[in-house]
Amino acid sequence: MPVKAKILIAEEDENLQEVLRGLFRSLNHRVKASGDAAELCNLLEAEGWDAFFCDARLWESTRVKHDLLQLALGRQPRVPVVMTAHYTEIDLARGAVERGAFAWLPKPLKATDALRVLERILCEASALSSETNVAESPEIVSGTDSAVQAIPAPEHHFGVLIGEHERMQELYIQIEKVSATTVTVLLRGDSGTGKELVAQAIHNSSARSDKPFVAVNCAALPEQLLESELFGHIKGAFTGAVRNKDGLFVAAQGGTLFLDEIGSIPVQMQLTLLRALQEREIRPVGGVSMIPVDVRVIAATNEDLEERLRSGLFREDLFYRLSVFPITLPRLAERRSDVLLLAQHFLGEWSQKDGRAPASLTDDAVDALSKYSWPGNVRELQNALRRAYTLVAGENQPISLRELPDEIRRATASRPQEDKEPSGIPSFPPRSAGMTLKAYLRACERQYVQAVLDECQGDKDAAAKKLGISLATFYRKYGGQ
């Protein structure tokens, strides 16, 4: 962009405020954001602004007392206004454009669209000195009228989730639908994909949001302690039980209990958990009386539960009881377009907490982050950026490639081209004694699919295209491969 800008953001969603603030500040623009119409009016009157991003719903709900659009357009020079609107607010956005707004953007916002419209505003600043020129410039940034018909679903970040990729939009819809019910949910996804955040989002959006959200990692506790943690115990139940103790089911009464790494629960304890889910009552360790509980259970795993089921390590009845509503979380490699948005969020959050100027990224760092395969998913991205942020803190310089971990730099240097075809059919898998032809061909198929997936750096959309099948077929046949 040719010049630095002063940007004002009118947005009630604090999460979106943070995302936009981090996005623009990473490019060294000055940014202020608020969801209060009166405060926004004062800011518009007190200072000159190069761009004003305004939520259409906020404008409409407060325009009787505080017409933010009219105030911005009435300034000399007038402030270019970009309306942001959900698909249900298209008419509001169009009306704003007809009244003189520069453009409007569909929600959920795409970082690329926001930056594109800001660049147009700055490049056309000299041409926006009169009302005539402003009237000639309104446009729908998302494209043609046909693009308006394909506006994405409403933004559902639920206060904790960040992402605008298609896979995340699908996830938001699933969260919204299941939040309106009380069914048990099974979250499936690799380590670091944010399963606890999704569980928290479901809880926050449900009728239980004012009740406790209790989380426990089932793999972090030994068997006897885990049973006591979940169901409680009475005094004298075992050595060290010097008093009665309520378990996490009781602690989560009326709310949500999140059981992470559910696959690690010992087989002997799975029946106890199954009974708690079926009968909605528990018995403390060493106790006799049953305690009724009203708890929604959300379980999560990064394991192949079907394989554990076949191996006798997981009960079939518990598996089906838990997976009433399964949700598969995408790997970060499958939504690579969200990497920079997440990066801006983390850097903006840390900078704000430390009272420092927003940390930014050099072009080579952006390129490396965008191309890396992120086997550790969002957690790996967060840790890599935290390290880089710490290295440049106090030096008033952007994060460059040299501050990123070695594995990211190495992978970036050696990464194959996106359109590279698989380097030949992989070697045949070993044949086990007594293996049927059908089973062997299935093993060959899965090995070839894995080779294609590796070539695509874990991007299942790209792998499905190279295999000549739909993404839905890929997931149906190969699941989380």
pLDDT, position 153: 28
CA angle 175, 178, 183 (to 5 degrees): 140
Q: Which CATH number fits domain 332-414: 1.10.8.60, 3.60.60.10, 3.90.105.10, 3.90.110.10?
A: 1.10.8.60
Q: Are strands 51-55 and 81-85 parallel, antiparallel or unpaired?
A: parallel
Fold classified for 166-328: Rossmann fold (3.40.50)
Predicted local confidence at residue 397, as pLDDT: 83
Q: Which two tokens stand for residue 395?
A: 């030096």
Average pLDDT on 258-281 reads: 93
pLDDT digits 0-9 by tens, 361-373 = 888 888 899 889 9
83-140 pLDDT, tens digit per residue, is 998 867 777 888 888 888 888 888 878 777 788 888 888 877 644 443 333 334 344 3
Sign of the alpha-carbon torsion through 47, 48, 52, 55: positive
CA–CA separation, 85 and 92 (whole Å): 8
Instruction: Assess whether the previous peptide bond of 77 is cis (omega < 30° from 0).
Output: yes
| Whether the Cβ atoms of residue 116 and residue 103 lie closer than 8 Å to each other | no
Model confidence over 435-481: pLDDT tens digits?
A: 666 666 677 777 888 888 877 777 777 777 777 776 666 766 666 55
Distance between CA atoms of residues 91 and 390, nearest Å: 46
At 425-435, the pLDDT tens digits run 455 556 555 56
Fold of 6-148: Rossmann fold (3.40.50)
Domains 166-328 and 332-414 share a fold: no
Closest CA relative to residue 246, chosen from 219, 267, 228:
228
Q: What is the DSSP string of 138-166?
A: -EETT-SHHHHTTPPPPP--TTT----SH
Delimit the domains of the chain by residue range. 6-148, 166-328, 332-414, 417-481
